Amino acid sequence: METEMKSPNSSTEKKINSQGSEKTKKKKNSKGKMHPGRVKTSAIEQHEIKNLEIRYTAVETSAIQKFRDIPLSKKTLQGLKQNEYVTPTDVQKESIVLALRGMDVLGAAKTGSGKTLAFVIPVLERLYCLQWTRLDGLGALIITPTRELAYQIFETFRKVGIQHDFSAGLIIGGKDLNFERKRLDQCNIMICTPGRVLHHMDENPLFDCSNLQMLVIDEADRCLDLGFQQTMNGIIENLPPKRQTLLFSATQTKSVKDLARLSLKDPVYVSVHEHAQYSTPESLRQSYIITPIQNKIDILWSFLRSHRKKKLIVFLTSCKQVRFIHQAFTRLRPGLPVLALYGTMHQMKRMSVYEEFCEKETAVLFATDIAARGLDFPNIDWVLQMDCPDDASSYIHRAGRTARYQKGGESLLMLLPSEEAMVEQLAQKKIPIQKIEVNPAKLFSIQRKLEAMLARDVELKQMAQRAFVTYAKSIFLMKDKSIFDVTAIDLNALARSLGLALAPRVRFLQKHLKATTTAEPPQAPRMLKPNYDSPDNKEVGVESSEQKWRRNDLEAAYNFHAENEEQDSDSDEGIFKLKRKDHALPGVVESEEEVAVEKKKKEKILTKEKVAKRILAKKLKANKIVNFDDDGNRIYDASREKVSELGRNLEIEALMSVTGGINLDEAKRAMEEEDKYDKELFRQRIKAKHREDRLKAKAERRLANRVDKEDEKSVDDEEEDEEDEESLDGSVADIIDALPDPDRIYGSNQGGSDEDGDVYRGPAVAKKRTRLSESEDDDEEYSDDESEEEEVPIKQKTISKKRSQSSGDDDNQDQPSPTKTKKKWVKKKPPKKQKPAKINKFDTGLDLAMDEELALHILGSKN
Ligand SMILES: Nc1ncnc2c1ncn2[C@@H]1O[C@H](COP(=O)(O)OP(=O)(O)OP(=O)(O)O)[C@@H](O)[C@H]1O
């Protein structure tokens, strides 16, 4: 994405001046802050900059002969010289000087007149004079409508700016977004397509254009037209208002609205060829032919056969047409290399085709309008416009791919009889174009060959069908209805010329024709015009017998071959992506029934996203598992759903609710209920975890006992009751289990709710054991559980007392208070185990066996 426009020996960011010393530069950036990492600039450069700035106002455009007459930095002059740019063109002289003075410029000049250098040079100079460095971020943003053009401009920056130290980035669609993203913040000059740059502006936090000095829009009229309107508005919103703006195009916009959007400050309109006799290059010879649609492909074939040593571009309306013609002609072999360039191509392929065609000496490139603007393919001999361009501007740009910068070239436009009005529009735009006739003797028909190929190759046949439909659709969608009339086209003849035996069905036309005949839309006069030759028939709503015949013929054509419907509908999708949506479609009045049918058809295409949306809309919960117990009662999973009745009811109410909203009191109550379940769930989890820890500790102890008998005798004085219980071996536990319930002995005024969450341990002793084991957990985790706190100390107190009596060395102060500490049982502990912080401990001074005996004794005596 990114390259550096620097000479091979200037590979570091620090610049050493000619004396070899470094000088710190105290230059402030546009926000008034000096960038801490500013590169040091030599005194010579600073001096040069001062001199240049003085000369900006003094320089006279008329006195400029060579680039060196313009106040330009040495680095730029060297870059120009290295690339053999010596004499500036008119548009360059005018625009560069004005731009150097810091003015907003609207540059208009013929195609191939060097408008690219007219903005590349001022951008380099401006940043140079500001002593811009990589650390200053984005200084200039250049926007162009196509990726290839962006690449071409990038290359010009790279070549002319070779002596500068700026870094330039190419931000275009079809490339790795992440790759671009990471390097964006290092770009000083960014060349981009509108969609991609807005994407970064919206989503990339590294994209910072707050320091931007210059905005350049190449092919400005195209970038600012309705096709890019929203994107461009989005971009402009993100740019700092204080900046210099340069707009360039061969067909420059003068729309006040466009210019207002850009908030230009006193822009200067540079139109060097405004008073020229023609709006196209003098060296361009232009001609047109009027031909019926069925002859177009034959003319193209014959033309290519007779220009095999030339380099040509052939423009067609849609990607699918280009694809079909390219595939068909590749197989038919016209005698020169055949290439294709269109928007739906893979980006890598697009670039390789672009480069390949640049290098070729003879070749034909079939292309859509993505190749119409700005591209500077070298040495193009001929431009063939096989389909009529959208308008005169579009014609100028297409034809302008040849006869560039002092070179000659020729252009041929093919028009259908219904499109002849275009000639008038071209004349109004000062385009000198001559009518020529096709020599029938030299016309060679390839229809049979195409038919044979399509019969053998289903894929090619499908391409032909798609080409047919997209062409019909693009004509139907054209803005200028005075030129483009789909009903005037003989679609059967078109189909045959493509090698198709029968015309594919075009449903939108059927619908349209139905609408124009059933309803009488006031805005659809052109749609009823069947014959361009008969001006009388142009009257609103009047349909002559000839028109009727034409309509019936068309209807018959459209109704053929319902089997092609699927493919057609596919193709129909594509064309909408490509054409500009800058006009309404008159005459299309859809009945309710048709709308319903259309809706139904659309529903057939179900993407994953749509399915998900539907599920959401229906408030269904996808992939939900419902468990039932043996009796068929539903088991609720507290971790995933509402368990309390109140909670569940509330959920059902929300689902049924049409109005939405929430009853806060109800919700609060439900939450409290749910909270109980949550707590219980949490408690159980903690218990399970503790149990697991205990078992683990027990296993470790057993292992330790086996290894070292001596250690077994040592008694740890800090034991936990719960661990104690678990550490008792099976026989002792059994004895304890068999002991009478202390509740019965000491009274049980406490609740026994703590049993709920415990594991089942046998019917007779469960309650007692649960109390022993759970109380500690609850103490640690749920200190609010009063029932356990009250019960345990009685036992504990007794045990502790007896212990202290028997050991006689216990410090009473160390004894846990009855209210705080519960039962404490002695147990063995692995020597290295850490003491839990919160648990109170005491020491009987006895070993485990004796402790057990003591416990049995105490309990037995109580009994
Ligand atoms: N001063 C110059 N000296 C020699 N060649 C030049 C000069 N300026 C431009 N050129 C060459 O002229 C050709 C056309 O230039 P460029 O692409 O900038 O034209 P353009 O006006 O932008 O055309 P379009 O309107 O089609 O975009 C390029 O090959 C370029 O290298």
CB under 8 Å to 34, separation ≥6 — which residues? 26, 27, 28
Tokens of 830: 């692995």
787-815 average pLDDT score: 39
∠ CA 119-121-125 to the nearest 5 degrees? 120
* Interface predicted TM-score (ipTM) of this complex, two decimals: 0.99
Is residue 144 within 6 Å of ligand 1 at its C-beta? Answer: no
CA distance 212 to 224: 20
Distance (angstroms) between ligand 1 centre and the Cα of 406 equals 10
Tens of pLDDT along 469-492?
Answer: 999 999 998 988 899 988 899 999
In whole angstroms, give the CA distance from residue 180 to residue 202: 14
Amino acid code (one letter) for 820: K
Q: What is the mean pLDDT of the chain?
A: 74
Q: What is the pLDDT of residue 601?
A: 55
The reply to whether ligand 1 has any atom less than 6 angstroms from the CB of 117 is yes
Whose alpha carbon is nearest atom 9 of ligand 1?
Answer: 114
Q: Which residue has the higher pLDDT, 719 or 211?
A: 211
Collapsed DSSP state (helix, strand, coil) of residue 209: coil
Which amino acid, 351?
M
Query: What distance in angstroms lies between residue 142's CA and the mean position of ligand 1's atoms?
Result: 17
Ligand 1 midpoint to CA 367 (Å): 21
Complete edge-to-edge strand list for the sheet that includes strand 338-341: 338-341, 363-367, 311-315, 382-385, 409-415, 284-290, 434-435
Q: Is the CB of 107 under 6 A from ligand 1?
A: no
Q: How far is the CA of 606 from the centre of ligand 1 (A)?
A: 49
- The closest residue, in CA terms, to atom 16 on ligand 1 is 114
- Tokens 């062409």 map to which residue? 471
Q: From the CB of 398, is ligand 1 less than 6 Å away?
A: no
Higher pLDDT, 30 or 160: 160
| pLDDT confidence band for 610 (50 / 70 / 90) | confident
CA 391–ligand 1 middle distance (angstroms): 24
pLDDT digits (tens, 9 = 90+) for 845-862: 666 767 777 777 777 665
Contact in structure between 753 and 787 (CB atoms under 8 Å):
yes
Fill in the amino acid letter for 326: H
Q: Sorting pLDDT into bands at 50, 70 and 90, what band is 725?
A: very low
Answer yes or no: is pLDDT of 118 > 90. yes
Q: How far is the CA of 112 from the centre of ligand 1 (A)?
A: 5
Q: Which amino acid is at 220?
A: A
Q: How far is the CA of 10 from the centre of ligand 1 (A)?
A: 28
* SS3 of residue 768 by DSSP: helix
Look at residue 580 and give its three-state secondary structure. Answer: coil
Task: Say how many C-beta atoms besides its own lie within 10 A of residue 510's C-beta.
Answer: 15
Task: Tell me if 746 CB under 6 Å of ligand 1.
Answer: no
pLDDT at 863: 52
Nearest CA to ligand 1 atom 22: 115
Q: Where are the alpha helices (DSSP H) in 582-663?
A: 592-604, 608-618, 645-656
Contact 388, 484 (CB under 8 A): yes
Q: Is the domain 43-270 a CATH 3.40.50.300 member?
A: yes
Nearest-atom number in ligand 1 for the CA of 152 is: 17
How remote is the CA of residue 479 from the centroid of ligand 1, in Å? 31
What pLDDT, on the 0 to 100 scale, is given for residue 751?
36
CA 624 – ligand 1 centroid, Å: 65
For ligand 1, the distance from its centroid to the CA atom of residue 239, given in whole angstroms, is 29
**Out of 152-161, 236-245, 578-587, 760-769, which region has the weakest mean confidence (pLDDT)?**
760-769
- 821 vs 494, which has greater pLDDT? 494
> Which pLDDT score is estimated for 524?
37
CA of 191 to the centre of ligand 1 (A): 18
Q: Is the CB of 112 under 6 A from ligand 1?
A: yes
Question: Ligand 1, atom 27: nearest CA belongs to which residue?
Answer: 374
Q: Quote the pLDDT of residue 494.
A: 94
User: Where do the domains of the chain lie?
Assistant: 43-270, 284-477
Distance CA 693, CA 471 (A): 75
Residue with tokens 């991609």: 196
Most confident of 77-91, 670-684, 817-831, 835-849: 77-91
| Mean pLDDT along residues 697-724 | 63
Determine if ligand 1 sits within 6 Å of the CB of residue 83. Answer: no
As a dihedral over the C-alpha atoms of residue 413, residue 416, residue 417, residue 421, rounded to 10 degrees, the angle is: -60
Task: For residue 75, give both structure tokens.
Answer: 């680095």
Number of Cβ within 10 Å of residue 684's Cβ equals: 15
pLDDT higher at 626 or 861: 626
CA distance 549 to 555: 10
Ligand 1 atom nearest the C-alpha of 111 is 25
Q: Is 376 in the pocket of ligand 1 (CB under 6 A)?
A: yes
Question: Does residue 540 contact residue 310 with C-beta atoms inside 8 Å?
Answer: no
Alpha helices (runs of H) in 747-840, residue ranges in sequence order: 766-781, 786-807
**What does the pLDDT read at residue 655?**
60
Residue pair 574/320 in contact (Cβ under 8 Å)? The answer is: yes
Q: What is the mean pLDDT of residues 152-169?
A: 95
Q: What radius of gyration, in Å, describes the C-alpha atoms of the chain?
A: 43
Which pLDDT value is given to residue 847? 66
How far from 100 is each of 25, 122, 187, 195, 449, CA to CA, in Å?
A: 23, 6, 22, 29, 60
Answer whether 210 contacts ligand 1 (Cβ < 6 A).
no
The mean pLDDT value for 400-421 works out to 96
Which of the listed residues 404, 406, 407, 411 should we mutate to test ligand 1's pocket, taking the one with most ligand atoms within 8 A of CB?
404
Atom of ligand 1 nearest to the CA of 109: 21
Centre of ligand 1 from the C-alpha of residue 412, in Å: 22
pLDDT at 673: 84
- Does the C-beta of 88 come closer than 6 Å to ligand 1? yes
Q: What is the pLDDT of residue 468?
A: 95
Which of 115, 148, 159, 377 maximizes ligand 1 atoms within 8 Å of its Cβ, making it the mutation to test the pocket? 115
Cα angle value 168/170/173 (rounded, 5°): 165
Q: Is the pLDDT of residue 97 over 60?
A: yes
d(CA 582, CA 229): 10
Is the pLDDT at 290 greater than 90? The verdict is yes
Does 825 sit in the ligand 1 pocket, CB within 6 Å? no
pLDDT given for residue 604 in this prediction: 62
pLDDT digits (tens, 9 = 90+) for 414-455: 999 999 999 999 999 999 999 999 988 889 999 999 999 999
Rounded average pLDDT over 716-724: 43
φ, ψ (nearest 5 deg) of residue 839: -85, 130
Atom of ligand 1 nearest to the CA of 116: 18
- pLDDT for 796: 44
Beta-carbon contacts of 60 under 8 Å, excluding residues fewer than 6 positions away, are none
Handedness of CA 108, 109, 115, 121 (dihedral sign): negative
Residue in 225, 290, 570, 246 with CA at minimum distance from that of residue 434:
290
Question: Across 237-241, 664-668, 751-755, which has the greatest mean pLDDT?
Answer: 237-241
- The span from the CA of 350 to the CA of 790, in Å, is 82
Counting ligand 1 atoms within 8 A of each CB, the residue from 67, 68, 77, 113 with the most, and so the one to mutate, is 113
Confidence of residue 36 (pLDDT cuts 50, 70, 90): very low
Cβ 374 under 6 angstroms from ligand 1: yes
Check residue 676 and give its pLDDT.
Answer: 83
Residue 593 burial (C-beta neighbours within 10 Å; 0-12, 13-18, 19+) = exposed
Instruction: State percent of the chain over pLDDT 70.
Output: 66
Contact in structure between 665 and 735 (CB atoms under 8 Å):
no
Residue partners of 167: CB distance under 8 A and separation at least 6: 2, 3, 4, 5, 134, 186, 187, 188, 189
- Given a cut of 90, is residue 717 above it in pLDDT? no
Q: Evaluate whether 142 touches 192 at the Cβ level (below 8 Å).
A: yes
Instruction: Say what angle helices 766-781 and 730-738 make with each other, to 10 degrees.
Output: 110
Minimum mean pLDDT range among 177-181, 782-786, 831-835: 782-786
For ligand 1, atom 1, name the residue with the nearest CA: 88
Highest mean pLDDT, choosing among 9-18, 208-217, 222-231 = 208-217
Q: Is the predicted pLDDT of residue 48 greater than 50, yes or no? A: yes
Q: Are 3 and 155 in contact (CB under 8 A)?
A: no
285 CA distance to ligand 1 middle (Å): 19
Give the CATH number of domain 284-477; options: 3.40.50.300, 3.40.50.620, 1.10.10.60, 2.40.50.140. Answer: 3.40.50.300
Above 80 in pLDDT, residue 213?
yes
If 0-12 CB within 10 Å is exposed, 13-18 middle and 19+ buried, where does residue 23 land?
middle
Q: How far is CA 638 from CA 194, 384, 512, 754, in A?
A: 51, 73, 59, 19
* Distance from residue 427's CA to the centre of ligand 1 (Å): 25
pTM of the model: 0.61
Q: Which residues contact 343 (CB under 8 A, 6 or more apart)?
A: 319, 368, 370, 578
| Spatial separation of the C-alpha atoms in residues 41 and 129, rounded to whole Å | 11
What is the side-by-side order of every strand in the sheet holding 244-249? 2-4, 167-171, 189-192, 140-143, 214-218, 244-249, 105-108, 268-271
Residue 225: pLDDT above 80?
yes
Query: What is the predicted pLDDT for the residue at 709?
Result: 62
Burial string for 526-550 (b: 16+ CB within 10 Å, else e) reads bbbbbbbeeeebeeeeebeeebeeb
Question: Does position 73 have pLDDT exceeding 70, yes or no?
Answer: yes
Continuous segment of H or E residues that includes residue 207: none
pLDDT in tens, 536-557: 333 333 334 434 434 444 443 3
Q: Residue whose CA is closest, atom 10 of ligand 1?
A: 114
pLDDT attached to residue 790: 35
Q: How far is the CA of 113 from the centre of ligand 1 (A)?
A: 5
Higher per-residue pLDDT: 603 or 722: 603
Higher per-residue pLDDT: 124 or 175: 124
DSSP 2: E
> Comparing 137-151, 425-439, 791-805, which segment has the lowest mean pLDDT?
791-805
Is 716's pLDDT higher than 70? no
Residue linked to tokens 């345990």: 792
What's the 117 CA to ligand 1 centre distance in angstroms? 7
Average pLDDT over residues 121-141: 94
pLDDT, residue 184, reads 81
**CB-based burial, 309-341: b 16+ in 10 Å, e otherwise:** ebbbbbbbbbbbbbbbbbbbbeebebebebbbb
For ligand 1, whether the C-beta of 222 sits within 6 Å is no
**Which of the residue ranges 169-173, 321-325, 375-379, 790-794 would you say has the lowest mean pLDDT?**
790-794
